[in-house]
Amino acid sequence: MDVSGTIDGILNQKSGDIFSISPEATVFEAIELMDNKNVGALLVMEADRLIGMISERDYTRKVMLRGKRSRETKVAEIMSANLTVTHPREPGDLVKWVISCQSATIAHLESYIHGGYTG
């Protein structure tokens, strides 16, 4: 997958399917839809407005590990609402940036392990 160019260029390499769920749906329904569609996250839409996102990670950390019940917990209770939104014409070197940040973290940790960390 090419990760250069614009966001629109990156998204054009993927299917155009968009999967979403209501904030009033249960977490169980969201996980069931993710499973059926073979995706790891869903947009949370209220009418035609994006209000959040729910992911398998949200489920694991905010339901399963906290002992909540997925059939009783609403998507709105655990969704991520502080989303960063971008325009399709924005530069798309996002993956390269993430890899760069991870490489810097790994280098710091390796230096620390080998005694070279100066704080």
Show me where the domains of the chain are located. Answer: 7-90
Ranges assigned E (strand) in the chain? 20-21, 41-46, 49-55
List Cα–Cα distances, 117 to 21, 77, 110, 114, in angstroms.
Answer: 46, 41, 9, 8
7-90 has CATH 3.30.365.10 classification: no
For the whole model, what pTM was predicted?
A: 0.67
d(C-alpha 88, C-alpha 70), whole Å: 34
**pLDDT, tens digit, for every residue of 15-53?**
778 899 999 999 999 999 999 999 999 999 999 999 999
Give 62-108 pLDDT, tens digit per residue.
998 898 999 999 999 999 998 877 777 777 776 677 778 888 888 88
